[in-house]
Structure 1
Amino acid sequence: MTSPPAHVLVADAVLPVDAPALAPGWVAIAEGRIADLGPGRPPRDRGPIVELPGQALIPAFVNAHVHLGASFLEGASSDLEFWPWLADAVQPRVAAWLRGEGRVEAEADAVRAAESLLEGGVGFAAESFLDVLGRDAMVRAGLPGIFFREFFGVSAGDLAEEAERAARRVESDLATLAGTSDIEYGLAPHALYTCPPSILEVLHRLAKKNDLLLTLHLEESPEEHDAFGSQRGPLHGWLVEKGADRFLLDRRPVQVLESLGLLDVPWVFVHGVQLEAVDLEILARAGASLVHCPSSNMRLAEGVAPVEAALEAGLVVGLGTDSLGSTGRLDLFQEMRLLLWSQRARARRVGGWTAGRALAMATLESARCLGEETTRGSLGVGKWADLTSVALELPLDRASAVDQVVWKGSPSAVRGVWLRGRRVVPRGSAS
């Protein structure tokens, strides 16, 4: 697709994220990238001007963890804690889907979810699922991102054969999916309790060989924390039934990864609610990043992630929505607010938990988690012109633009989304 002609967006406020706010401000776009930006009115030689009165321009959100392919699970999390949710609500529905039930409906659900992300201001998403359902939905919606193919293996009869199947799947994906659209490719061993070490090692080797990013649900729930190391609880009992000798249950989850020698490549770990200080230090030394999904964690009564401790240890921390099956709503405005409320409550102080930090985590820090920070996540010269405009309800002398975006913003307040300089929201826009 060719880039739109050069033009300039002028708004009541421009929030670059990594630089001071410009109020009012402008962003000049040329060849799909940000050519310049500044305060006040733009120079006359930058191209036609698009006025955005009563709006703030921000970088398009980066959703660092979502399961669009699992959107058919919406409604599964009503009043359930993690293990009953997973065992009694999620697994039966996924099993039915694998048998072919509700395939057409699941496809429609995934497309609607992808479109809702884009219309809610998201310009890049990290999709994890065992099938291309979510990836195809992103292509149809016009939403760029990365597709992490999920792998399991906990119920496999022969782990050696399962590892070979996983390797063949990766090679096939690399031949047919990688580099064929605006969707990048990565690998997602689902979790340490669903992906035995033999499968993890194969995926680690392939990621290292092909320079692929890895992501993994890690220390999400109390049940996972108790199953490893303490060797107790319902999840531990379930693993014993599956074959305890398939797993390293005598150590903490991070110790499992460390003892297998898997931390020598980039990892994007998701959740981390139960991580201890010693675990955070290990992950920080390994250069790992962490994606925080506050609404999912709190709705499933998993706890509040130690985000401040993770940042102090040196991890990069971004934000994700997780799936409709656990949150019921894909809304990064909500995630920003829940981040601030929960971290302030955990610390019993405001500290550094400001609206500006929340916006950075939903944009630049999420991009950094995924290795995308040089091309997106902030408004800087040379980056892709991926922008979102948000309606401002109050005069800026009463509430700053960043405060209004974070504390009052919602998907319904999104007035426009631009990807590589082309306006894609509202649909059919001319500028």
Structure 2
Amino acid sequence: MIAPVQLVDLIIEARWVVPVDPAGVVLENHAVLVNDGRITALLPQEAAAARFSARSYKRLDQHVLIPGLVNLHTHAAMSLLRGLADDLPLMAWLQQHIWPAEAQHVSEQFVHDGTLLACAEMLRAGITCFNDMYFFPGAAAEAARASGIRAAIGLIAVDFPSSYATDADDYLAKGIAVRDRLLDEPLLSFCLAPHAPYTVSDRSLGKVLTLAEQVELPIHVHLHETVQEIDDSLKRFGMRPIERFRRLGLLSPALIAVHAVHLDACEIELLARHGCSVAHCPSSNLKLASGIAPIAELFGKGINIGLGTDGAASNNRLDLLQEMRLTALLAKEKSGRADAINAHQVLYMATLGGARALGLEANIGSISVGKAADLCAISVNDVALAPCYDPVSHLTYAVGREHVSEVWVAGRIRVENGQLVENNETGLIKLALLWQNKIRP
């Protein structure tokens, strides 16, 4: 007896499928089946054709299909400040240029428009989920929702006033209100986002920890980014920031330590022992001369690592494929070992590592049955990419975001043939130019 053919929403056939989990696997001539926004099967193309039919088909004969990339750290709205004050040290860049510009211009509309621009850039680069940290998180959430991208919205907290809130209590209260209002949005999740050790007091960090435990949210914070941050902490608190966080009870699997550039052996052990994650942002670290994070050592201790772009003001591009290449190359140079980090491990960081840090690994980060169909197709049909012996090596060392051809979020196509399906790119460029004319010094 012949089994009836089952109807699904979408069948994607690809030359290569890299599911990420299990690790190191590359499947040739396989199909991913999607129904109701979720992956229902991953099997050889012949088996898929025999058992299933679809309302829609996508054949990717010269492509690598991977999970959608997860940008573990960014300030999306800062796309409107891209290139505003380049080639400066971090604190001079912040104190003399970025913070004054933010004080003058940041508003709910600024955040909405800047995040719209960032979402378009990220989707075209294969990023299907981003972890944000910025003012007016409700406006960022609305822009992400309008763009059809998955977002972990950071509920920022700092001790100084802004156009958004007056003090840390006000920031947190407004952030939790945003989270409560949007809790049922399927593409949104939330993080508590105290900005940095030097902008948040012990009292405020304590309140962040209490809230994180009450509502079970990750804590997303800049940590050990620069030597100056550590020196200032020694002068002010008599200890390095990670030790201060340990004493406050903040080191846990909920903590996402952004940058984590300047770490000694004991601090690496602390992060490993407490199950913390690290958001590695190599381009931003290099551009601001913050340093090179010890990624090989962190990885060797079993610390979960995800990759981030940081904001477009300090990168200046939201391109996780570029971060993958830099991660591999810098880890080799920093450790003195060419085999320190391999291409499969870097791809894990850019997908499942980021998902795990956000507590989303059961839903995204790999091409696995039951997970959301957040997918990215990358074409290798380019003279600059020929020949292709190893598609995962190509992903890490050869391809660029211009090779991203299709992107799906929860089974819905957002990029097709390299172009946004729904966002009006011309309109976004005009919007950015309007803001440029306001902000131009």
Judge conservation of contact 1:123–1:419 (CA < 8 Å) in 2: yes
Q: Which of 386, 389, 393 is residue 399 of structure 1 equivalent to?
A: 389
- CA-to-aligned-CA distance 1:118-156 (integer Å, 9 cap, x gap): 121111111111212332221121111210111110569
Q: 2:52 aligns with which of 46, 52, 56?
A: 46
For residue 167 of structure 2, give the secondary structure of its aligned residue in structure 1: helix
* Structure 1 residues 149-188: aligned runs within 5 Å: 149-154=155-160, 162-188=167-193
2:90 aligned partner, one-letter code: F
Q: Distance in 2 between matches of 1:397 and 1:136?
A: 43
Contact 1:166 1:199 in 2 (8 A): no
SS at match of 1:194: coil
Shift in alpha-carbon separation, 1:287–1:38, aligned structure 2, 3 A: same
Mapped partners of 1:398, 1:64: distance in 2: 29
| Structure 2 counterpart of 1:243 | none
Query: Structure 2 vs 1, CA of residues 181 and 384 (structure 1 numbering), >3 Å: closer, same or farther?
Result: closer
Q: Are 2:289 and 1:311 aligned? A: no
1:271 CA displacement: 0.4
Stretches of structure 2 lacking an aligned partner (at least 5 in a row): 1-6, 423-441
Post-superposition Cα deviations, 1:384-413, rounded to whole Å, max 9, x if no partner, equal 111110011368864211122222222211
Secondary structure class of the residue paired with 1:359: helix
SS at match of 2:192: strand
Q: Give the equivalent residue in structure 1 for 2:205.
A: 200
Q: Which secondary structure does the structure 2 equivalent of 1:38 belong to?
A: strand
CA distance in 1, matches of 2:248, 2:20: 38
What residue in structure 2 maps to residue 420 of structure 1?
410
- 1:411 is aligned, of 373, 388, 401, to 401
Q: TM-score scaled to structure 2, two decimals?
A: 0.86
Q: Is the CA contact (8 Å cut-off) linking 1:336 and 1:358 kept in structure 2? A: yes
Residues 1:403 and 1:228: Cα distance change in structure 2 (over 3 Å): same
Counterpart for residue 342 of structure 2:
354
Structure-2 residue corresponding to 1:239: none
Q: What is aligned with 1:134?
A: 140
> SS state of the match for residue 148, structure 1?
strand
State the shift of 1:263 in Å.
Answer: 2.7
Q: CA deviation at 1:253?
A: 0.4
* C-alpha separation in 2, matches of 1:171 and 1:376: 24
Alignment of 1:365-384 (within 5 A): 365-384=353-372
- Superposed CA offset, 1:316-356 (max 9, x none): 00101110111010001100011111111112221142222
Whether the aligned pair in 1 keeps the contact of 2:134 and 2:154 (CA below 8 Å) is yes
Aligned twin of 2:259: 271
Decide which moves more: 196-205 or 403-412.
403-412
Supply the AA of the counterpart residue of 1:28.
Answer: L
**What residue number does 2:21 align with?**
18
Structure 2: distance between partners of 1:166 and 1:112: 24
Worse overlay, 47-56 or 12-21: 47-56
CA displacement 1:20-56 (0-9 Å, x = unmatched): 1112222122222212213453332222342112111
2:250 corresponding residue in structure 1 = 262
List per-residue Cα deviations over 1:88-127 (Å, max 9, x = no partner): 12111111124x5xx7565433211111111211111111
Match in the other structure for 2:430: none
Match of 1:86 in 2: 94
Q: Distance in 2 between matches of 1:171 and 1:349?
A: 45
- What's the counterpart of residue 223 of structure 1? 228
CA distance in 2, matches of 1:181, 1:22: 30
Instruction: Please give the residue correspondences for 1:195-344 in structure 2 after superposition, counting only pairs within 5 Å.
Output: 195-229=200-234, 231=235, 249-264=237-252, 266-344=254-332
Task: Find out whether 1:148 has 2:137 as its counterpart.
Answer: no
1:64 aligns with 2:68: no
Matches of 1:115 and 1:345, distance apart in 2: 33
For 1:353 and 1:215, locate their aligned partners in 2 and report how far apart those are by CA, in whole Å: 25
Whether the 8 Å CA contact 1:215–1:270 is kept in 2: the answer is yes
Supply the AA of the counterpart residue of 1:195: V
SS of equivalent to 1:324:
coil
Matched, 1:7 2:10: yes
Is the alpha carbon distance of 1:265 and 1:204 closer, same or farther for their aligned partners in structure 2, counting shifts above 3 Å?
Answer: farther
- Residues 53 and 316 (structure 1 numbering): CA distance in 2 closer, same or farther, change over 3 Å? same
Q: Which runs of 5+ in 1 are unaligned?
A: 232-247
Q: Distance in 1 between matches of 2:252 and 2:284?
A: 29
Q: How many residues align?
A: 402
Q: Which moved more, 1:346-355 or 1:390-399?
A: 390-399
RMSD: 2.2
- C-alpha separation between the residues in 2 aligned to 1:119 and 1:86? 29
Residue equivalent to 2:119: 114
- After TM superposition, the structure 1 stretch with the greater mean CA deviation from structure 2, 133-142 or 371-380, is 133-142
Q: Distance in 2 between matches of 1:262 and 1:55?
A: 43
